[in-house]
Chains A and B, each alone.
Chain A
Amino acid sequence: IVMTQSPDSLAVSLGERATINCKSGQSLLSNSNKKNYLAWYQQKPGQPPKLLIYWASTRESGVPDRFTGSGSGTDFTLTISSLQAEDVAVYYCQQYYSTVSITFGQGTRLEIK
């Protein structure tokens, strides 16, 4: 399943809202459990990725509530409600719907304007 993120890069002022989009090549919504098999990660320079969101909208333990995941089917969004300096990173979406393979988006680089 191909995952496409937009934009590739984004510059937002501190305290403003940042929105990152992710589109999947097929629906990630399961008919059986009504869950979307979509996760979001944050990767800062020189560090491994950090899990932020899974099931499209479930925040991982310890993740600040300014990070919100939304969407269903093929279109998903990660929103940072009030950008902090420490949020500068590359963000990736990941699908885990496919039983054949797990795939990631190409990443979105978030910077401070």
Chain B
Amino acid sequence: QVQLQESGPGLVKPSETLSLTCSVSGGSIIEGGHYWTWIRQHPGKGLEWIGYIYHSGSTSYTPSLRSRVTISVDTSKNQFSLMLTSVTAADAAVYYCARVKHLTSRVFDIWGQGTVVTVSS
């Protein structure tokens, strides 16, 4: 059974770079034709899709964050990562990694538990 686990600093200073990693267990990140995604949820708010990546390195990002976001994959470690540059208080949120069920049905069928990121000096 595939499981996902986010990790990374819970506190980031304004203007610095947020870096998170999602570790995939119970299955290979390169099998099944799945994409892998990051989604965030601001406190008490709804869900915001950030972007996704395939094991080949092919990516897609939401337009509003495209200039600041990089998602990368490390197939040897069965992990994928999120980098968000120049963070502000508006980037404080719970960050989730998830599996995309299939590229044609871009829904998210397996999620990590989420990691809280605070932006403060």
Contact = CB atoms under 8 A, between A and B. Distances in A.
Given A100-B63, A101-B62, A51 B109 contact: yes
B105 A55 contact: yes
Interface residues of A, number: 22
A94 interface: yes
B14 interface: no
Contacts of A49: 47, 96, 108, 111
A94 B111 contact: no
Determine the main DSSP class of B at the interface with A.
loop
A94 B46 contact: no
B107 A48 contact: no
A48 B46 contact: no
B43 to A, nearest CB: 13
Nearest to A60: B109
A17 B113 CA distance: 30
Contacts of B46: 92, 104-107
18 contacts: A37-B106, A41-B47, A48-B112, A48-B113, A48-B114, A49-B47, A49-B96, A50-B111, A51-B101, A51-B108, A51-B109, A54-B101, A92-B47, A94-B107, A101-B49, A102-B106, A105-B46, A107-B47
Interface of B: 46-49, 62-63, 96, 98, 101, 105-109, 111-114
Interface of A: 37, 39, 41, 47-51, 54-55, 60, 92, 94, 96, 100-107
Given A48-B113, A102-B106, 12 more contacts: A37-B106, A47-B113, A48-B112, A51-B101, A51-B107, A92-B46, A94-B47, A96-B106, A101-B49, A101-B63, A104-B49, A107-B47
Which 3 interchain pairs have the tightest Cβ spacing?
A48-B111, A96-B106, A102-B49
